[in-house]
Structure 1
Amino acid sequence: MKKITITCFIALQLAFMYSCSSDSSSSDDSETLEDDSVEIVFDDTDFETTDWTEETHSKSADPDFDEVFEDEAVKRIDLVITEDRWNSMLEDMTSLYGTFGSRSNSSLNDSDEDPIFVPGEVFYNGIEWYRVGIRFKGNSSLQSSWSAGILKLSFKLDFDEFEDDYPQIDNQRFYGFKKLSLKNNYEDNSMLREKVAADVFRDAGLAMSHTAFYTVYVDHGDGPEYFGVYTLVEEVDDTVIDTQFSDNDGNLYKPDGDGASFAEGSYSEDDLVKKTNEDDADFTDVEELYAALNADNRTTDPEAWRAELESILDTDTFLKYLAVNTVIQNWDTYGRMTHNYYLYNNPDTERLSWIPWDNNEALQDGNGQGAVSIDFSDVSSSSWPLIGYLYADETYKAQYDEYVQETIDDYFSVSKMQSKYATYSSLIEPYATTEMDGYTFLSSSSDFQTAVSQLNSHVSERASIASSYLNK
């Protein structure tokens, strides 16, 4: 086997699309990664993890939610990436989505390929985390931001992604967290929606990611650059199932595609992406959900239909989610889009539980057809049977209505939400209104306060709509 030293970390992660200069131990000729016998050797493995402590870096530490996800704070995190590795990230984005700033987002690419990870350093409160896996993340939001020429892109951090290459970081964690997402608050001039929606779901007692506000600085060769206000989001397949369920051994799915609608005949394992137990080909649980949901006895024997469905799906959790999600409005999820939720087969109950995900588009009517009506009169039951079939059942409709009432009385009450908007907007305004051109979605600083005002009006409007619906 030939051994080469990679100095720019382009070739491996670009899946043989690029090559870079190398020093060969056996030849003066440059090597490319088209030869499967080439062994990749990093040239920056000689370092000491001098900041490492059990509390901050060790896998043995419990997740420190108070430190990482403090509600009423704006914290700073710095990403440091070498110039070569940063350029490889940009080259990869170009290969996936075209030229930066081309504004061709009218026809987004349908790519299943994630952007590349590169090793970089993370700094927080004067502490360093070493050779962290860093990549851009997102789908339409990532492509749209890129094509618009806005470098405020979302990031995914994996703290031991490169542990095989750097033994010093074996099982590295960030205060107990292996993976975290830094969301760029795309299409949200208030920069509050991702966090506030998560707060509401968590207040309702649903399994939900913790979130927090952070300012992000990136040094890719010329010193720290301010990338703006981000929302840090806990990863579902990391600590959410570890800490919000008593057992994390169940199947976790992140559905995406036609099969994620659960419409009859749409089942496809390719659309039911496993995030745990990936090597186990058993999809029995979701297959049974399709069958039970679309069973013929739904109308002929509703009691038997409900009993079978409830043996597979935690219907109570789903109905509570549905009520909260519909009251607050969230168009980029089930009922309009076949993505942005997880299903976890809780080993304690042996039932699939619904977990919301990706809420930057919540708390507004939205794009396209907009968010669904509170009575689902604009939802096709056959296309979205988890909504249509359950709402058509008198027992489930009554449960849904109870949760709508709870939502406007408690989790999403006007007084609670307007107080929350006041607190959070005061916190982030100095950081939001000083974002820089090319790293912001704001046209002017006044866009921020306008968006906050719209949120305050929105919660009042939704309370009125929900009350009218319930009093029919």
Structure 2
Amino acid sequence: MSIKNIKVTFPVQKILFFLFITSFIACSDDDSVNTVDVENEIIEEEDVVSTTVDDTDFEATDWTTATHSKDADPDFDEVFEDNAVKRLDIVITEARWDSMLENMTELYGTFGSSGQSAPGAITSTDEDPIFVPAEVFYEGKEWYRVGVRFKGNSSLQSTWQSGNLKLSLKLDFDEFEDDYPQIDNQRFYGFKKLSLKNNYDDKSMLREKVAADVFRSAGLAVSNTAFYTLYIDHGDGPIYFGLYTLVEEVDDTVIDEQFSDNDGNLYKPDGDAATFAAGTYDEDEYVKKTNEDEADFSDVESLLNIINDASRTTDAATWRSNLDAVLDTDVYLKYLATNTVIQNWDTYGRMSHNYYLYNNPDTGKLNWIPWDNNEALQYGKQQGAPELDFSDLTASQWPLISYLYNDAIYQAKYDTYVQEVIEGAFNETTVQELYASYSALVEPYATSENEGYTFLNSSADFQNAINGLNAHATSRTAAVNSYLNR
């Protein structure tokens, strides 16, 4: 499959130019028509087609305070409506789209290479794909020169190398405000940044949303989510890219709206240090998303040191007191219980990433915030399961789970939260009703004949995946009951 667009020329423009000049002269009372200006207009139009023109001369005519301004509060009801599938259109010039694809080739090798990279291509990189300016359209309104880039880690590389263009995207609505003063502090109904997740490895296309719903129902800070269809026009008209999940960015409105103060340190750990294992401390792996210019990592450094402090075995009460002072352990244990009941395969305990830590200024404690949940709500992967009993978990690799679970006080709190989750946020009947509601909502967009780019091999894959979600909910109820009655 070729992803390069064929450059289309427009000889008809010359005809239109001739007709325009002819009609203009015929209708004009002024015999001295300014043909230079008219020609410049045509030249400018041709430059736009070839994407070499300076495109800073425009008016943001759709701009209103409620829809585009930083002064508006985030409109969650508009952007993250639970019971709707909304549509986003993105228009990118051909040249800019090609630059995005060329950059992906440099980062991850040849498109559709199935892991066989082009000679000299980099296939393991910490570098993000490039942003380009694009126009975003929603409900008849335009957002201007929005920063758009591909996003993701292994899922991005795997999707690209499999030859599927259903890639996740990140939108930053004022990324290019220095180049385009007209979009200074541009927002999308109060949101600066949003992610469009492609639901990689999820034939139900529900996991990202349902997992977030469950975390929120359990009383945890988590991103809002909603279903959207995505169309991208990169030169040949709008192309259906499929059903996506729109996700609120933690470093944008999550800490603004779900905490009373957004001035604390926000980290997105990734790497060995993200395990909190002894001897792994590395500031570079505690990636700061706020206060980036301040070289103060004392909160996460203290957390790592206290987790592994010898007082854990010699004076457990002191160890708990010190740990409680830097980490909101109630929040963490509630998260751990929820995450383990639903089974999540791409986060702490299996992988050293996909969570945030926010130092809440109100308490001075780090709060755990889940992220990237498309691998949740399914049976065992990656050589084992995040089971409910962590007695045998490798402490040297995942000390935050192992050490808390093997402390009697913390384990009792964890067990209480496990019971609360299975009776409330992940109650079998409740979650199966949610699966039924969401699957009916998205099925026409997920399995239609014009399904666009997809991970489904057939429409039957979708229903089979829904059946799997229901069976998983039943099995987790049985597993929790067995664990609590041990």
TM-score, normalized by the shorter chain, greater than 0.5: yes
Distance in 2 (CA, whole Å) between partners of 1:371 and 1:344 is 27
Letter in structure 1 aligned against 2:328: D
| Deviation (angstroms), 1:366 | 4.3
Aligned with residue 342 of structure 1, among 344, 352, 356: 356
Residue 274 in 1 paired to residue 285 in 2? Answer: no
Q: 1:435 to 1:148 in 2, by over 3 A?
A: farther
Q: Read off the aligned partner of 1:451 and give its amino acid letter.
A: A
The residue aligned with 1:38 is none
Alignment of 1:172-321 (within 5 A): 172-321=186-335
1:78 to 2:89 alignment: yes
User: Could you tell me how far 1:377 is from its partner in structure 2?
Assistant: 4.3
Alpha-carbon distance, 1:365 to partner: 2.4
Distance in 2 of aligned mates of 1:423 and 1:437: 20
> Aligned in 2, Cα 1:210/1:435: closer, same or farther, shift over 3 Å?
farther
Counterpart in 1 of 2:17?
none
Q: Does the Cα contact within 8 Å between 1:152 and 1:227 map onto a contact in 2?
A: yes
Tell me, yes or no, if structure 1 residue 63 matches structure 2 residue 74: yes
The amino acid that maps onto 1:98 is: G
Structure 1 contact 335–387 (Cα < 8 Å) conserved = yes
Query: Do the aligned partners of 1:149 and 1:438 also contact (CA within 8 Å) in 2?
Result: no
Q: What aligned pairs does 1:82-121 form with structure 2 within 5 A after superposition?
A: 82-104=93-115, 109-121=123-135
How far apart, in 1, do the equivalents of 2:383 and 2:417 lie?
24
Which 10-residue stretch deviates more, 291-300 or 386-395? 291-300
Please tell me the residue identity of whatever aligns with 2:161: S
Distance 1:108 1:442, change over 3 A: farther
- Aligned partner of 1:405 in structure 2 is 419
Kindly provide the CA deviation profile for residues 402-429 of structure 1, in whole angstroms up to 9, marking residues without a partner as x: 0000011000001100100000000000
SS of alignment partner, residue 206 of structure 1: coil
Is 1:448–2:448 an aligned residue pair?
no
Q: Distance in 2 between matches of 1:174 and 1:229?
A: 20
CA 1:445–1:138: 2 relative to 1, 3 Å? same
Question: Contact 1:142–1:153 (CA<8 Å) still a contact in 2?
Answer: yes
Q: Is the 8 A contact 1:108 1:140 kept in 2?
A: no
CA shift for structure 1 position 108: 9.0
User: Does the aligned pair in 2 maintain the 1:150–1:438 contact within 8 Å?
Assistant: no
Change (3 A) 1:429 1:52: same
Query: Which residue of the partner structure matches residue 392 of structure 1?
Result: 406
- Deviation per CA, 1:158-201: give whole Å up to 9, x if none: 00000000000000000000000000000000000000000000
Secondary structure of the 1:411 match is coil
**2:29 counterpart residue number:** none
Q: How far apart are the structure 2 equivalents of 1:84 and 1:178?
A: 25
Return the alpha-carbon distance in structure 1 between the equivalents of residues 449 and 122 of structure 2.
26
| Partner in structure 2 of residue 155 of structure 1 | 169
The answer on whether the counterparts of 1:228 and 1:435 sit within 8 Å (CA) in structure 2 is no
* 8 Å CA contact 1:216, 1:230 repeated in 2: yes
Task: Kindly state the Cα deviation for residue 435 of structure 1 after the two structures are TM-superposed.
Answer: 6.5
Looking at structure 2, the residues matched to 108 and 429 of structure 1 have their Cα atoms a distance apart, in angstroms, of: 37
Are the equivalent residues in 2 in contact too, given 1:151–1:438 (CA < 8 A)? no
Aligned-residue offset at 1:109: 2.7
How many Å separate the matches in 2 of 1:365 and 1:273?
A: 31
Deviations 1:120-152 (A, max 9, x none): 000000000000000000000000000000000
CA RMSD, 1 decimal: 1.6
- Per-residue CA deviation, residues 267-317 of structure 1 (Å, 9 max, x unaligned), is 101110000000001100011111111111101111110000000000000
Unaligned runs of 5+ in 1: 1-7, 9-40
Distance in 2 separating the partners of 1:404 and 1:54:
44
Tell whether the 8 Å contact from 1:208 to 1:356 is kept in structure 2 after alignment: yes
- Identity across the alignment (%): 72
Contact 1:331 1:370 in 2 (8 A): no
Alpha-carbon distance in structure 2 between the residues aligned to 1:437 and 1:423: 20
State how many pairs are aligned. 433
Residues 372 and 379, structure 1, Cα contact 8 Å, conserved in 2: no
Aligned to 2:21: none
Counterpart of 1:27 in structure 2 is none
Matched, 1:133 2:177: no
| Correspondence for 2:156 | 142
Shift of 1:367: 2.8
Which amino acid letter does the alignment assign opposite residue 83 of structure 2?
E
Cα separation, 2, equivalents of 1:257 and 1:325? 20
Out of 362, 365, 368, the residue aligned to residue 351 of structure 1 is 365
Q: Secondary structure at the match of 1:311?
A: helix
Runs of 4+ in 1 over 4 A off after TM superposition: 105-108, 435-438
Does residue 432 of the first structure (1) align with residue 443 of the second (2)? no
Per the alignment, in what secondary structure is the counterpart of residue 326 of structure 2?
Answer: coil
The Cα shift of 1:370 comes to 3.7
1:434 CA displacement: 2.0
Structure number with bigger Rg: 2
Note if contact 1:323-1:400 (Cα within 8 Å) is conserved in structure 2: yes
Q: Which amino acid aligns with 1:178?
A: K
Question: Greater CA deviation, 277-286 or 438-447?
Answer: 438-447
TM-score by length of 1: 0.90
CA distance in 2, matches of 1:366, 1:153: 25
Matched, 1:48 2:70: no
Please state how far the C-alpha of 1:436 moved relative to its aligned partner: 5.3
Partner of 1:379: 393
Map Cα deviations across residues 241-290 of structure 1 (whole Å, 9 max, x no partner): 00000000000000000000000001101110000000001100011111
- The equivalent position to 2:481 in structure 1, one of 444, 456, 467, is 467
Distance (Å, rounded) in 2 between the aligned partners of 1:324 and 1:235: 21
Separation in 1, partners of 2:206, 2:452: 20
Whichever residue aligns with residue 438 of structure 2, its letter is: Y
Which ranges in structure 2 are unaligned for 5 or more consecutive residues? 1-6, 8-51
CA 1:310–1:231: 2 relative to 1, 3 Å: same
